[in-house]
Structure 1
């Protein structure tokens, strides 16, 4: 993970069976309570052998030792690391390309590998930075994420699933430590159409920290659901990756409007007492005591964190792109991202200023809500979000809380409207005739969209005079 702090631009001025590690690989202290050791059984994801992941780490350590002690972007150590990963992927049958980053601080290559199956316009992408700092071999930061992805890619190739529902793409980024430059270059090289093909990007940066935690990027988002479901099945209780926000390669994707998530075990921030009680380890100490130091070697790895991350990635790949066709393969929960509008605009898109904390129309919860209309002049305002509904759940319920205030005096004629659509189909239309006091819950059965990625859209239209405000808050889509 880059040590440079990047400020996130926020619009609106707001915001597994566990394996005993071999000698030289330290496991994290065990939590005081018992956790469930078995992975979810609904999907036939492979159990990733942590020993195979550790073997890749040993290779990266050997590469660093033979090339000046590090694998910094542009160095011989980084070039050799790229060659090692590329050879493994090509032998497994991947379509592999190297992309030269001409805008990087150290001119060097990204490595992109794609499994040649599944629809080319439906892509899920998994990435990790392969470079390290010049101070040491960079085994946790970030050979750990790189090795986890490499072994998952090899496991997918070995399984050769008969059915692939989405194209699976892997990436190993360069020049992350100098400011996320490799991933920025890649995202900027994509056309608008190519960006639209990317249905999710998953980032893995420092997943073997010896005093680590269990962190997920955008924990409550739809994109994070499979990663969270796996760790929830182990009783881990993951938390939001606050330390890593804006500091790793998911950030350029997020800024481009592509849904993102990922795992992390933590860097230089210190573990709290509550986290130590939940996960084990030392309170008050850094998650990774060798962060950006020469001691970031194969001895600086928790095999437990490494194993749980590797198996969680496999579960996500199978959930998102493979599946088993087994009835009951439901990864449910809350599917709408930023459902209460408290976290800026992402992943919502639409008319600027619709998400607001204006006190003239209070939010139902928190400070922010979506306020469409209310202008008293002819116009249209929209707000939308792409949502992926899992398969084989028992129920799918969309709910939004709507407050309608109007200056119209008629009790019989419609002048202003709010339309709720999902996947292009109209679920409901509300108007000035539905005005009342306070928020009213509106619910819809959307089981017809199971297994689909659809767009939820709110559209408000007003006529030439007398405003009607459609204020929406706490939008959820629960699958279970």
Structure 2
């Protein structure tokens, strides 16, 4: 996990159309054998802690053999990526290595796709693979990388056939500002971004004086993790220390639902937290954060085990559910100019062929390009004219663009009809347009 992140990442002006996954051709292994049981008979496995720790031992050996770290642009990073890729290739994943340049050095992302599942609903789990240059990065973030790897290998061992498509990612140069994950997300055409129904991020999940923190972003993903920990009698808190400081921010900034887990970094554990979770009050969750002592000795086995199993639980739970029937998404990509300090404009999506009312969790995905989004007031208008406020104006919000998904309780509204997105620029000097928007029922 990196130390800080700018308040606003530069908006994506255009997306490269060169391939969903990476530069370079993917390396595919032989197709896996047919599963021995239907999806409904398969439960999320208890990941062997020994397997996860074996991956961490490999990362430690790699760092020790390569100057003591696995940082971007260093031999230790590429060796770590090669280790993970070899495991995935042997397990039947389709892997691809994506290259980028940062700070004058070549960086790498690794993407692994499990065959099958609805690619229009892709569940993705990821972790950054790089360390800082001052240490081997076994908790930060060998722990997340190893647990995601072992979850992927468990998918292969189970020969899982989820309803949704499964994809896993390992990011480079996170410690330099989320560089690798930003590159991946920005390289995706908007049509491909819209196929990712959720991204799960795992950055530091084995801290030596651990807490149990859950991201409070997408409510469905958040509840999935909370339910798991409640089931094993472990209380959780909302994650705040690393909010926006890890790779989930790259996905969240373009409207992809995100969630994840965290066991704490340099902040101090309170007395109340020590009473709740054990450990030592008054000491950092990870005393070796970004230091040379972040070795295999810096891992709490219980936290690593619990979080690894929670990852498997979330991947199984979120990917094996029923797919959304065709026609549940209604979208327009017609551009509508938003006049500077002018009258409100609308863009229309027509819904037809449905019965009854709209859902209580209607998803409203908006992509509004604008040079000062604080100027904008955004509403959803139901077919009968009822307005649902999505966004208020804010003079202090100087960032570009509104690219996000809102959830609206529209259960009082008839589903069929002309739904409108209404946008008004209420201040002078900045301009923009509605690029696209959609309703997902």
5+ long unaligned stretches in structure 2: 12-39, 323-335, 350-357, 363-378, 388-408, 424-441
Structure 1 residue 235, shift from structure 2 partner: 2.6
Structure 1 residue 306, shift from structure 2 partner? 0.6
Residue deviations 1:82-141, cap 9 Å, x none? Answer: 110000000000000000012455312111101011122211111101110111111000
Aligned to 2:156: 157
**Alignment pair present for 1:74 and 2:36:** no
Aligned to 2:236: 238
Residue number among 360, 371, 376 corresponding to 1:398 in the alignment: 360
- 2:95 alignment partner, SS class: strand
Q: 2: CA distance between counterparts of 1:189 and 1:125?
A: 16
Residue 227 of structure 1 and its aligned partner are, at CA, apart by 1.8
Following superposition, the deviation at residue 199 of structure 1 comes to 0.8
> In structure 1, what is the Cα distance between the partners aligned to 2:135 and 2:381?
57
Deviates more, 1:142-151 or 1:268-277: 268-277
1:98 and 1:10 mapped to 2: Cα distance? 25
Contact 1:105 1:178 in 2 (8 A): no
Q: Distance in 2 between matches of 1:322 and 1:263?
A: 21
Separation in 2, partners of 1:53, 1:429: 54
CA distance in 2, matches of 1:306, 1:177: 21
2:406 alignment partner in structure 1: none
Superposed CA deviations along residues 300-334 of structure 1, whole A, max 9, x for unmatched, are 001111111111111111111125x9xxxxxxxxx
Distance 1:9 1:221, change over 3 A: farther
Query: Aligned pair in 2 of structure 1 residues 96, 295: CA closer, same or farther (>3 Å)?
Result: same
Question: In the TM superposition, what whole-angstrom CA distance separates every residue of 1:325-376 from its partner, at most 9, and x where no partner exists?
Answer: 9xxxxxxxxxxxxxxxxxxxxxxxx999xxxxxxxxxxxxxxxxxxxxxxxx
Q: How many residue pairs align between the two structures?
A: 336
Measure how far apart 1:274 and its partner are. 1.6
Match of 1:7 in 2: 7
Name the SS for the 2:51 alignment partner.
helix
Partner of residue 306 from structure 2, selected from 305, 308, 314: 308
CA distance in 2, matches of 1:179, 1:3: 9
User: Aligned equivalents of 1:78 and 1:93: distance in 2?
Assistant: 23
2-side partners of 1:98 and 1:399: how far apart?
37
**8 A Cα contact 1:207 1:309, kept in partner:** yes
* Alpha-carbon distance in 2 for matches of 1:52, 1:185: 30
Give the secondary-structure state (helix, strand or coil) at the position aligned to 2:120.
coil
What residue number does 1:124 align with? 123
Q: Equivalent residue for 1:224?
A: 222
Distance 1:399 1:98 in 2: 37
Output the CA distance in 2 between the equivalents of 1:271 and 1:187.
Answer: 34
Give the conservation status (yes or no) of the 8 Å contact 2:344–2:422.
no
* 1:7 CA drift (Å): 2.0
Match runs of 1:2-401 below 5 Å: 2-8=2-8, 44-103=43-102, 106-161=105-160, 163-218=161-216, 221-322=219-320, 380=346, 398=360
CA distance in 2, matches of 1:293, 1:378: 53
Give RMSD over aligned pairs: 3.6
Residue 246 of structure 1 deviates from its aligned partner by: 1.6
DSSP 3-state at the match of 1:299: helix
Are the equivalent residues in 2 in contact too, given 1:128–1:149 (CA < 8 A)? Answer: yes
In 2, Cα distance between equivalents of 1:137 and 1:130: 11
Q: Kindly provide the CA deviation profile for residues 21-44 of structure 1, in whole angstroms up to 9, marking residues without a partner as x.
A: xxxxxxxxxxxxxxxxxxxx9971
Using the alignment, how far apart are the partners of 1:60 and 1:378 within structure 2?
Answer: 55
Q: Give distance in 2, aligned partners of 1:77 and 1:265.
A: 25
- For the pair shown, the structure with the greater C-alpha radius of gyration is 1
Alignment of 1:394-433 (within 5 A): 398=360, 420=382, 430=386
